[in-house]
Amino acid sequence: MLFSAASRVLIQGITDPLGKVYAPLMQQYGTQIVAGVASGQGDTNFHGIPVFDLVEQAIATVGQVDTTVICGHPYMVLDAALEAIAAGIRHLVLLTDGVPPLDMVRLLRKAEATETLVVGPNSPGIIVPGEILLGTHPPDFYAPGPVGLISRSGTLTYEVALQLTQAGFGQSIAVGIGGDRIVGSSFQQWLQILEEDEATQVIVLVGEIGGDSEENAARYIAEAIDKPVVAYIAGRTAPLEPVMGHAGAIIAALVADLSTEIGTFESKLAAFKAAQVPVADRPSQIPDLVKKALQKVS
């Protein structure tokens, strides 16, 4: 797995609102936060974490950093991410929402050229239960186990994790890929990562209406994934006409001039059925589908 208790983590924007709240919680969970960055606040510390003005200053003092968690203002995320990449950090977790789309385009071009993994923006981040917390996941909802959970949602990720934990199915990892219109890593990338992860026996994919990421993921599952996959799609009862924010899911297909069928609940359901992926009607059904999938594996 790319992330473990041994991962050395930097928090950019550690004194911004997100950083102030979640850096201590990540640290409490056991995440090895070696430094923070906050412009103008160098040579201070936050909850015992040394704070620097620049990423390069942090690395020069504390040594190698594997992952950075970016918590800053949306219009400062691009600069923070490019600074991290220039310093050699290859795993970026963007918690901030509302990053300008053109900034994300620039970042993703740089990430592709440098083989950098970007999670988010507008993401709850990543948790490997019992190992590391990189973001806003409530740790009490999670337990170590064989289920790899990838999701477009934030709070729905937590709900599904809690349902699984209460049913006795822990998680190998939970990843929120992000809810903004342009995000870094895709369902396909994480499906491939979990396909190769020895700790993951079954994958749960939580999607929602809008865009075509679930349809693309379903095709990829049919072509390249051997492990069992269970899906859930949020937004079954949402009205079709209004363009909604992420809280109700974005009908991005209309903006992108895709077919009006693409992005609907029916389109995504049909894609998963064609890939022979069972789809839960509600989150509470996911543990039963996971149980059946694990029985087939064993």
Mean pLDDT by 10 residues, the chain (298 residues): 94 97 98 97 96 98 98 97 98 97 98 98 97 98 98 94 98 96 95 98 95 95 98 80 47 44 88 97 97 90
Is 93 within 8 Å of 18 (Cβ atoms)? no
Is 186 within 8 Å of 215 (Cβ atoms)? no
Helix, coil or strand: residue 19: helix
What pLDDT does residue 137 have? 98
Question: Is there a shared CATH topology between the 8-119 domain and the 137-297 domain?
Answer: yes
What pLDDT does residue 236 have? 78
What pLDDT does residue 79 have? 98
CA distance 250 to 146: 31
Q: Could you name the CATH architecture of 137-297? A: 3-Layer(aba) Sandwich (3.40)
Residues designated as active site? 246
Helix, coil or strand: residue 186: coil
What pLDDT does residue 255 have? 42
Superfamily of 8-119 according to CATH = NAD(P)-binding Rossmann-like Domain (3.40.50.720)
Domain ranges in the chain are: 8-119, 137-297
Is 142 within 8 Å of 17 (Cβ atoms)? no
What pLDDT does residue 14 have? 98
